[in-house]
Amino acid sequence: MNILVLGSGAREHALCHALFRSPSVHKIFACPGNGGISQICNCIPFSTNAELIKYASNRVELAVVGSSKFVSSGTVDALVTAGIPVIGPAADAGRIETSKAFASHFLARHNIPAPMTQVVRNIREAQKFIAENPWVKVVKADGFARGTGVAVTSTPEEALEAAEVFFKVNGPPLILQEKLEGIECSYSILTDGNQWVSFSSSQDYKRVFDGETGPTTGGMGSVSPFPDLTPELEESIRQRVVIPTVHGLMQDKLIYRGFLSIQLMLTVHGPRVLEFNARLGDPETQSILARFRGNLATLLFDCSRGCLDATGSEVAFGRNWAVSVVLARAGYPVDESIEPVIRGLDEVKDGMIFHSSSVRSENDGGWKFTSGRLLTVTGVGETLSDAHSACYRDIDRISLQNVHYRTDIGAEKTPSSNT
């Protein structure tokens, strides 16, 4: 089987790595890919859907979406129209991620637990609602904002100020929410639109500095499985969130065949949905797939054709743990102009390294990067402590200049969060 992976980040590198281990795979193409991915795949950077379809037709049996931009840009729809099975939702179903207003209405319509929410269309509506509802502490932009589309505030004045800024920068609509207290958790599934299988749980570390401090980022590390996930809690997530979500997609006649990552706040009143990702997250994918055991390509191909079975079960994951740490350029996420120097990646023998937007230098064989997040280093162990130690041992083997990373990813205590 020949497979096309869409995206250029560490998540897509992890997908390619897992698919490369699948015995049913003959060749993997990546669009656009990156320098790290090019070591195991053929990278094909096309700028239009038409060019991509022309190349993929008669070459590819399955396409796997990593980045959601390929959902919102209509690439999934174009591939399906061309007769190529896809792991990734059609554009209308993808709105569950690409529009927080759409997701909010979806959650309310299907009685899925979430924060108290109001969608507003202009600053006058925001002013009136915030003045009448002092519980509004969270302001969100509707679409993608590269990790900067959420403001957590303390007073109505701060909430209104954030709303004014977001209207100017991102435009309408805006989502106003209560602030929940608890612990954040990601729960991922693979669904063919009818049946679904669990793709394990994970924890994402969003803040740039140790102890969950500093600005919010695209993600500085992850752990899988989620350390505090008990069988009772997982059953609650399945019954109260996952099953109503899959049924809701069916009832709304939204074609969804692919990964769905559900971002949850675990409160004293049970799980609440913060947002949906119409794909696996980054860096959660790196930890989840490092634990995966089995033929990923066959599983995804069955899903793309609507042939999943064993509804609700967890597919082949070993009884082990994975810890992933993101190496970012110094100054990220505020300043991404500082040039990093990374050498010695060949010294990492035990764990895995996944690249983000890298290019191999023709002059000295080093690596150049075009993004704020550079690499993800992933370690696996029989316990969380073992995985944590393995990951950081590998980082110590790499020569780093102008690079920052957190030192507490996978620490035994799960940090509390709120949103």
Q: Is residue 12 domain-shared with residue 50, that is, in the same domain?
A: yes
Please check whether residues 207 and 308 belong to one and the same domain.
Answer: yes
Cβ neighbours of residue 118 under 8 Å, at least 6 residues apart?
Answer: 129, 133, 136, 175, 176, 177
225 within domain boundaries:
yes
Q: Say if residue 204 is in the same domain as residue 309.
A: yes
Number of domains in the chain: 4
Dist. CA 215–CA 192, nearest whole Å? 36
pLDDT given for residue 145 in this prediction? 65
Residue 236 lies in a domain: yes
- 100, part of any domain: no
Distance CA 396, CA 373 (A): 18
Go through the chain and tell me how many residues it has: 419
Do 236 and 311 lie in one domain? The reply is: yes
Q: Is residue 251, in this structure, part of any structural domain at all?
A: yes
- Amino acid 148: pLDDT: 66
CATH of residue 387: 3.90.600.10
- In terms of domains, do 381 and 331 share one? yes
- Domain annotation covers residue 209: yes
Beta carbons of 248 and 106 less than 8 angstroms apart: yes
Is the bond preceding residue 173 a cis peptide, omega within 30 degrees? yes
Q: Looking at the structure, do residues 185 and 313 belong to the same domain, yes or no?
A: yes
Please report whether residue 107 resides in a domain.
no
In a domain, 342, yes or no: yes
Same domain, 300 and 357: no
CATH number of the domain to which 297 belongs: 3.30.470.20
Range of the domain at 279: 181-318
pLDDT value of position 313: 66
pTM, to two decimals: 0.93
307 shares its domain with 348? no
Please tell me whether residues 246 and 327 are part of one structural domain: no
pLDDT digits (tens, 9 = 90+) for 202-219: 999 999 999 999 988 989
105-115 residue pLDDT tens: 999 999 999 99
In three-state secondary structure terms, 319 is coil
Clarify whether residues 334 and 406 are in a common domain: yes
User: What are the b/e assignments for 67-89, b being 16+ CB within 10 Å?
Assistant: bbebbbeebbbbbbebebbbbbb
Average pLDDT, consecutive stretches of 10 residues, N- to C-terminus, the chain (419 residues): 96 97 95 95 92 94 93 92 95 94 97 97 96 96 77 95 94 96 95 94 95 92 96 96 97 96 96 96 96 93 90 76 97 92 90 93 81 96 96 96 97 56
The DSSP string of 34-73 is: -TTGGGTSEE---SSHHHHHHHHTTT-SEEEE-STHHHHT
Q: Please report, for the domain that includes residue 135, its CATH number.
A: 3.30.1490.20
| Residues 326, 308 share a domain | no
> Does residue 98 lie in a domain region?
no
Same domain, 394 and 274: no
Give the contacts of 120 (CB within 8 A, at least 6 positions apart).
126, 129, 163, 172, 173, 174, 176
Instruction: Report the alpha-carbon distance of residue 356 to residue 368 in Å, rounded.
Output: 10
The residue out of 318, 341, 357 marking a domain boundary is 318
Read off φ and ψ for residue 239, nearest 5 degrees: -75, -40
Read off the tokens for 146. Answer: 């590269």
User: Residue 97, class by beta-carbon neighbours within 10 Å (0-12 exposed, 13-18 middle, 19+ buried)?
Assistant: buried
Neighbour tally for 14: CB within 10 Å = 30
Is residue 73 a contact partner of residue 49, using CB atoms and an 8 Å limit?
yes
The position carrying tokens 């064989």 is: 365
CATH classification at residue 33: 3.40.50.20
